[in-house]
Structure 1
Amino acid sequence: MFSLSILGAAIAAESYADYTIEEVQVTARKRAESLQEVPDSITVLSAAQIESAGIRDLKGVAALTPNLSMDDNYRPGTARISIRGMITPQVGDAPLAYVVDGVTAPSMDFINQDLHAVERIEVIKGPQGALYGKGAVGGAINIVTREPTNETEGSFVVGAGNGESVNAEGFLSGALVEDSLYYRVGAKHSDSAGFIENEVTGQMVDARKVSTVSGLLSYQLSDQGKVDLRARYSDNQAGVGYYSVVDSPYAIGDDVWSRQSSNILGGSNRELLELSGKFEWSADYGDLLFVAGYSEVDDLSFSDSDYTGMPSDFDLLFAGAQETQYGVKAYTSELRFTAPADHAVQWQAGAYYQLREVESTLHLWDDFDGVGVRTRDSFDIPNDEFIGSNLDPDFFTEYLYSIVDSNTSDAWAIFGQAAYDLTDTLTVSAALRYDMDKRESYDWRDVEGTFAKRDFSELQPKFQLSYDLSEDVLTYVSVSRGFRSGGFNEPHPDVERVFDQEISDNFEIGFKSDFLDQKLVLNGAAFHVNTQNTQYTQFNVETFTLENLSIDRSISQGLEADFQYLVSSSLRLHGGVGMVKSEIDQYAANPDLEGNRVPGVYRSNINLGAEYVRALQSGSELEFRVDYLRNGPIAWDLENSLETGATNIVNVRASYIFDQSRITLFAENVTDEATISDAFVLDYGYGRQPGRPRYYGVQFGYSF
């Protein structure tokens, strides 16, 4: 993924001639504010930056953000996110809130998908529970999509690359009725045969095909009010579970792309549907907003479960094949009132509600022969459309082992925030939110024996004090709390059925500054996060279940900084660094682990880059970009027995821009650096999933 390290401030290509960094407006605190005046550590990417950097998904955004990472996991919907030392348990929720046009994503599946028709992305770091609620233990991502106007506008991009990769996307927007009814429609398609070959099957394990369509209707009721209706549908097919096994932790980084040896062809089919509506009303007394959304995902994934071509052997936990089925339906709404910005006290208050229903299954199938290439059709598996109580219970007797779970989350919250200028240079702000999350879980085959119920709730405050040292330097202190709901482990007499909610308390000091007539922007922050009941998922070999552990206390502390410098109207330098030390501080269940690093957290991430634009006499431009990314080291297990060192990635890009068109040659991971996106310890070795090798190609884009 290309890295455009615009960290803390943004600049569009057209501003080069002005030789200054433009002011950016954000809504990170749910009201419009200047980025450099918000006392939070925030990364912002505009539509122009997303396009010029070739950013396709959240992994590209994470590459630009200090102390944020995102890596692939078993299937696309279970990506591994870490932010300021807060991790993603495989059984549980993400460590951040993910909000698109005011609708909070109900599960990880809605986070890990391609970006489309985006106007702006804001990454707010540190616990944001006071405004964003449950799940925002490490931060929040706020995405705003493009709004149509009276002008008919559009663009399209087509491209091709190695791995038999092709992609195309475009959008069109304008007015159906001038000054009244507006529209935007868009579509995106990408297809790749893959880059990593399975030695046994001869097939590419990381093939991927994604098709997305979206639409917006916006009706201007009057000068004061409007209604928006949005829809998005996505169909995804991808390789899944392409792990390989090595016999030594020291070999975890060896030949990562050439040891795929499972004998079962796997894959994932995932469909996502998102519908939302928004009502806005502005008046002299303030602004009223109501947003409601419906989200649905169906996912079916099938793969080799021992990640080898060997026969099943349950003494070694070799099960053969596995199938996971996952479905989510969620309804989300929020009502918010915001007082006028010119009032002495700037305040807002609101209420939130979300109902989420999840059905999931895991089936293990036997492959005692382990000979030849096998697919899902090789096993006598019924072709039911999906999971749940519609299936005949006798269906499950055909499996060697199966886990079935139906669970619901019924959550509501109330919140408020206020800011007051004590003096011309000193501002105090406070926010408070109360969340209640009522959760239930059961296996519908044995409701009475497996039913579990628990309420999770928390009061989440946030206090900030900001001081203007000068017109160009802002300093701030922040104290905040975040909360992530607990949940339920798979039913087993030897496993705790309920795991606790997680609470993170953050203390942060930071600064924002610009110098040299807004040609140099430098921002930084230091933080200390104390987390109770850190959630971590591991496989229990005794019970053959995934178990979410609650580590009594972990501590994350670190630094982050970013800069951009316009050396001239043609040359811009940019960079950022994040450093975090995240350790297990207290763990009564296993004191020997105290002092170990929290798994899944990169110790540091660094990005440095330069962009040069050369104007030609014809009025066209040449644009060159080079970026360097360094991530790591990282520990993958609680014992810290499995670690990988830092990786170094170089990306380059060259574009010819003319007549509203752009031709781009690109190469990502130029040096073909071997990377690991996931790793874990097995009884019979060490599993790892490789990252993508070198990727290069050409793109053509046109805007009107």
Structure 2
Amino acid sequence: MLRNLLVLLIFLPLFSFSQELTVSGNVKTASEVLLGVNVIEKGASNGTTTDFDGNYSIEVRQGSTLVFSFLGFKTVEVVVNGKSKIDVLLEEDSSQLDAVMVKGFRNVIGQARRRAESVQTIAESVVSFTAEDIETKGINNIQTFTDQIPNVNFTSSQNIGNNFITVRGISQIRNGDAPIAFVIDGVTLPDANLLNQELFDVALIEVVKGPQGALYGKNAIAGAINIVTNEPTNTYRSKAQVGYANGNLLKAQLSSTGPLIKDKLFYRVSGSYKKGDGLLNNTTLDQAPDYIEDLTLRAQLKAKLSSKISATLTGQVIDTEAGGLYYAIPKDGNAKIAPDDYDNMAILADQDGVGTLKSTYGNLKVNFNLNKIKLTSLTTFNKVDRNAFGDLDFTAADVLRQDQDSNTKTFNQEIRLGSLSDEDSKINWDLGMFYQNLDKTLITTATADFGFFSPPFAPSGIQSPLAIGDFTNTYRTLAIFGFIDYQFTDKLTLSAGLRFDNDNISQDNRSEGTNPERTDTQLQPKFSLAFKATENMMMYANYGKGYRTGGFNQGQTVRYETSFEPEITDNYEIGIKNSYWDNRFILNISAYYTDFSNQQLYALVLDGGAGQILIGNFNIAESESVGFEADLRVRASNWLDILGSYGVSKSRIINGTSTVSTGTNEIIDVSGNSTPLVPQDSYNLGLESSFNVSDKITFNGNINLEGTGEMYWHEDNAAVSPRYSLLNARISFTFNDDFSVALWGTNITDTQYITEFFDQTFSNGGSDLAWLGQPTAFGTTLTYKF
């Protein structure tokens, strides 16, 4: 029956007819495309807005007139007269420009609810970066924009693809699912290993906080990162970029787009390559351990099969090799080290650790537009193979080594129905069905040279197995979801969403010879209320239930059981969004409270013993997180913007226990302690400037101070890192709108900090371990558009 329903949903539009005509096109000025232009059918309650490439599509009556309007530009009216494609060039309105001496923030646009709209009208905490922001800020991966968002913290450690993101007190666990949905062009990537991939040829990046399962899918317990790449176009455009930085880092990017068949078939190809020697130092090997070589290629084909049907085929491959497993240990020989004792931290590993990540991704998106309804079919395949090899004792002695494969293979099928963008419609809605088959394989091997453990206490040169883990967890998920906005009045809008997940989880445990299986189900409602108190102020409140799947560990150890339960949250948020002074002053403030059941935490046991697994996850019975955020933008003049944000996130364990894996394996009560891996607060202060040096030269510059608050590393709260701040800056000059040169620097003050810490009390290891943050980096980038 389910198969028949899916087939019906896919082919239903093919059997429907309409008396209307679909008109599409592009809106731009003499120098740039325009985002958010109002496109309205004159004399009818029918309208839309242009997207991030200035494109629009609208269903109109035969013989109607389209009205194109945008602040600061002359309104244009065009008679359709049977034309299916209408491109428009808007001219600046000098009378409006004289009245508004300083232009406000024009492109504060997002797609948090699957349609282009002002961030200031969305009843969520949303931060967006448009294509202009991405270029002027030099954003090229998740790290370079999450540092500018309050209560969002991203770090990486151990090896390539080992990422950790924390949003509003909900953190990512190692070898587990991220607490956010990572969405590219409407497709949720299921593997957290891909979070920190190179970002290029991108039109929009936005971060939406709070549970987002109804719109963004599985495991969106803390929010979503929504990335929209540039689409294939009907005109030829290309862009080339090269850069060089200290550490002998070379970067190159290239993108090209255009029609293969005019007005019908379009292509877009893009690629990124970087190779660097690294900036840190392994004193034992006298070389940089943080080298990297990465190649990412992406290709798209978009076909307009008819006036109502389009299809886009996307493929992407990633091939990365980088240094790995270069943890710092106390160089004074002691087992303990303070998380801020940077002078006593050194990378001493005798092995040149290496991590590799190879990913293959393919997606087919088919869109059907009919009678103000849009139907989308998304079919996705994703395969990621990741390996890490290197030291395990992290000393200059060849005692322990480790090797780990962390691989995933995923098939997704999603069918989604939704209303087309309509400026005057009081109702916008989405509903759909989702299926996923996900295999997650984890193979961990630890070896030891036992010559060190028996007379004559000298290495034998022979490594023997110490602990082995080998298992595959399979997730088969079937979900249904829906979301609706209803505008009761000009001032009041109610939104409601619902998602139901059915997860069948099974394990092929080759180490233990077991095959456990279970099914988890969860209903996830979401409600929000938006009230436009004045023309410039919107207040909102929302509630949502979050859900992150559980899973199976390989086996039981002193720190965790054979399985861990799904994590459930109840999330409450209130906020206010202010836009004054003709959009030159924007201040958004929100406060939230999250109640956790079975919050998931990570555990490490280095002494595997007789076949025990080395790593696993466990649950804390009850915990909570409370905090607030403020985000400020001020356009002081046409050439100077002042930016600031601040967030506080206080997370604590209400009821829970943990086990110390050294000595007597003592069970400790951690109730009342702060939740680990959550920065207590964060802030960002920035200045941005853009102005014309001459008719042919434009200057852009920005400087940002990004702060991360205290962080507790374990549930006993004994190890805590102090606050640290990083200063970053970038300036660029653009010539004739097509060539630019940029100079940039990160961590300019060379601040010392760490991004991960393991206390040997909880790992049964030889000493404390720390992952060092990156020192000062600086470089130059050249860009040419043609």
> Structure 1 length normalisation: TM-score?
0.90
5 Å matches for 1:468-483? 468-483=532-547
Contact 1:131 1:432 in 2 (8 A): no
Q: Which whole-Å CA distance do the structure 1 matches of 2:218 and 2:166 have between them? A: 16
Question: What residue number does 2:676 align with?
Answer: 599
Q: Compute the displacement of 1:380 (Å).
A: 7.7
Point out where structure 2 has 5 or more consecutive residues left out of the alignment: 1-50, 54-70, 73-96, 453-459, 659-666
Q: Compute the displacement of 1:65 (Å).
A: 1.3
Question: What residue number does 1:422 align with?
Answer: 488
Contact 2:586 2:632 in 1 (8 A): yes
Relative to 1, partners in 2 of residues 1:271 and 1:475: Cα closer, same or farther, differing over 3 Å? same
Aligned AA for 1:265? D
- Establish whether residue 117 from structure 1 lines up as the match of residue 201 from structure 2: yes
- Establish whether residue 555 from structure 1 lines up as the match of residue 620 from structure 2: no
5 Å matches for 1:252-271? 252-255=339-342, 259-271=346-358
- Establish whether residue 148 from structure 1 lines up as the match of residue 232 from structure 2: yes
Q: Which whole-Å CA distance do the structure 2 matches of 1:232 and 1:171 have between them? A: 13
Cα deviation, 1:487-546, whole Å, max 9, x if unaligned, reads 011224765211110001111001111100111111111000001100001124575632
Question: What residue number does 1:451 align with?
Answer: 515
Aligned AA for 1:358? K
Q: Compute the displacement of 1:248 (Å).
A: 6.9
Question: What residue number does 1:679 align with?
Answer: 757
Contact 1:472 1:514 in 2 (8 A): yes
Q: Which whole-Å CA distance do the structure 1 matches of 2:713 and 2:461 have between them? A: 33
Contact 2:136 2:700 in 1 (8 A): no
Relative to 1, partners in 2 of residues 1:649 and 1:441: Cα closer, same or farther, differing over 3 Å? same
Q: Compute the displacement of 1:113 (Å).
A: 1.2
Relative to 1, partners in 2 of residues 1:205 and 1:475: Cα closer, same or farther, differing over 3 Å? same
Aligned AA for 1:407? N
Cα deviation, 1:553-610, whole Å, max 9, x if unaligned, reads 1111101111111111111111111110011111156673111111111111110111
Equivalent residue in structure 1 for 2:707, among 620, 630, 636: 630
- Establish whether residue 528 from structure 1 lines up as the match of residue 600 from structure 2: no
Relative to 1, partners in 2 of residues 1:379 and 1:183: Cα closer, same or farther, differing over 3 Å? farther
Relative to 1, partners in 2 of residues 1:591 and 1:197: Cα closer, same or farther, differing over 3 Å? closer
Contact 1:199 1:258 in 2 (8 A): no
Equivalent residue in structure 1 for 2:154, among 63, 70, 76: 70
Q: Compute the displacement of 1:31 (Å).
A: 3.3
Cα deviation, 1:385-444, whole Å, max 9, x if unaligned, reads xxxxxxxxxxxxx52221101121100100111222222211111111101111111223
Q: Which whole-Å CA distance do the structure 1 matches of 2:168 and 2:247 have between them? A: 34
Contact 1:41 1:125 in 2 (8 A): yes
Q: Compute the displacement of 1:338 (Å).
A: 0.9
5 Å matches for 1:193-592? 193-246=277-330, 247=334, 251-255=338-342, 259-312=346-399, 320-340=400-420, 341=422, 342-368=424-450, 399-444=465-510, 446-447=512-513, 450-492=514-556, 495-540=560-605, 543=612, 545-587=614-656, 592=669
Aligned AA for 1:667? G
Contact 1:276 1:292 in 2 (8 A): yes
Q: Which whole-Å CA distance do the structure 1 matches of 2:744 and 2:624 have between them? A: 40
Q: Compute the displacement of 1:368 (Å).
A: 4.9
Q: Compute the displacement of 1:18 (Å).
A: 6.3
Equivalent residue in structure 2 for 1:33, among 117, 120, 133: 117
Relative to 1, partners in 2 of residues 1:202 and 1:356: Cα closer, same or farther, differing over 3 Å? same
Relative to 1, partners in 2 of residues 1:252 and 1:151: Cα closer, same or farther, differing over 3 Å? same
- Establish whether residue 179 from structure 1 lines up as the match of residue 266 from structure 2: no
Contact 1:530 1:555 in 2 (8 A): yes
Q: Compute the displacement of 1:364 (Å).
A: 0.9
Q: Which whole-Å CA distance do the structure 2 matches of 1:465 and 1:255 have between them? A: 48
Contact 1:161 1:698 in 2 (8 A): yes
Question: What residue number does 2:771 align with?
Answer: 689
Relative to 1, partners in 2 of residues 1:282 and 1:11: Cα closer, same or farther, differing over 3 Å? closer
Contact 1:160 1:698 in 2 (8 A): yes
Relative to 1, partners in 2 of residues 1:693 and 1:464: Cα closer, same or farther, differing over 3 Å? same
Cα RMSD between the aligned structures?
2.3
Question: What residue number does 1:137 align with?
Answer: 221
Q: Which whole-Å CA distance do the structure 2 matches of 1:369 and 1:258 have between them? A: 28
- Establish whether residue 663 from structure 1 lines up as the match of residue 741 from structure 2: yes
Relative to 1, partners in 2 of residues 1:189 and 1:379: Cα closer, same or farther, differing over 3 Å? farther
Q: Compute the displacement of 1:253 (Å).
A: 2.5
Point out where structure 1 has 5 or more consecutive residues left out of the alignment: 1-9, 313-319, 371-377, 382-397
Cα deviation, 1:313-349, whole Å, max 9, x if unaligned, reads xxxxxxx100001221101121111134454432221
Contact 1:534 1:550 in 2 (8 A): yes
Q: Which whole-Å CA distance do the structure 2 matches of 1:250 and 1:399 have between them? A: 29
Q: Which whole-Å CA distance do the structure 2 matches of 1:28 and 1:143 have between them? A: 10
Q: Compute the displacement of 1:34 (Å).
A: 2.6
SS at match of 1:664: strand
Aligned AA for 2:685? L
Q: Which whole-Å CA distance do the structure 1 matches of 2:461 and 2:167 have between them? A: 40
How many percent identity over aligned positions? 30
Aligned AA for 1:694? T
With 30-39 and 273-282 compared, the bigger mean Cα shift is at 30-39
SS at match of 1:251: coil
SS at match of 1:567: strand
**Number of aligned residue pairs:** 662
- Establish whether residue 189 from structure 1 lines up as the match of residue 267 from structure 2: no
Question: What residue number does 2:698 align with?
Answer: 621
Relative to 1, partners in 2 of residues 1:258 and 1:642: Cα closer, same or farther, differing over 3 Å? closer
Cα deviation, 1:61-108, whole Å, max 9, x if unaligned, reads 211211111101222222111000001111421111111112211121
Relative to 1, partners in 2 of residues 1:612 and 1:369: Cα closer, same or farther, differing over 3 Å? farther
Aligned AA for 1:634? M
Question: What residue number does 2:127 align with?
Answer: 43
Contact 1:256 1:690 in 2 (8 A): no
> Structure 2 length normalisation: TM-score?
0.81
Q: Compute the displacement of 1:255 (Å).
A: 3.4
Q: Compute the displacement of 1:369 (Å).
A: 6.4
Q: Which whole-Å CA distance do the structure 1 matches of 2:749 and 2:639 have between them? A: 27
Contact 1:20 1:566 in 2 (8 A): yes
Contact 1:103 1:332 in 2 (8 A): no
SS at match of 2:441: strand
Equivalent residue in structure 1 for 2:183, among 99, 103, 123: 99
Q: Which whole-Å CA distance do the structure 2 matches of 1:256 and 1:504 have between them? A: 41
Relative to 1, partners in 2 of residues 1:203 and 1:526: Cα closer, same or farther, differing over 3 Å? same
Question: What residue number does 2:781 align with?
Answer: 699
Aligned AA for 2:618? L
Q: Compute the displacement of 1:661 (Å).
A: 1.1
With 591-600 and 222-231 compared, the bigger mean Cα shift is at 591-600
Q: Which whole-Å CA distance do the structure 2 matches of 1:112 and 1:256 have between them? A: 29
Higher RCO, 1 vs 2 (CA within 8 Å, ≥6 residues apart):
1
Question: What residue number does 1:389 align with?
Answer: none
Q: Compute the displacement of 1:310 (Å).
A: 3.1
Structure having the higher Rg:
2
Question: What residue number does 1:390 align with?
Answer: none
Contact 1:133 1:483 in 2 (8 A): no
Q: Compute the displacement of 1:33 (Å).
A: 3.0
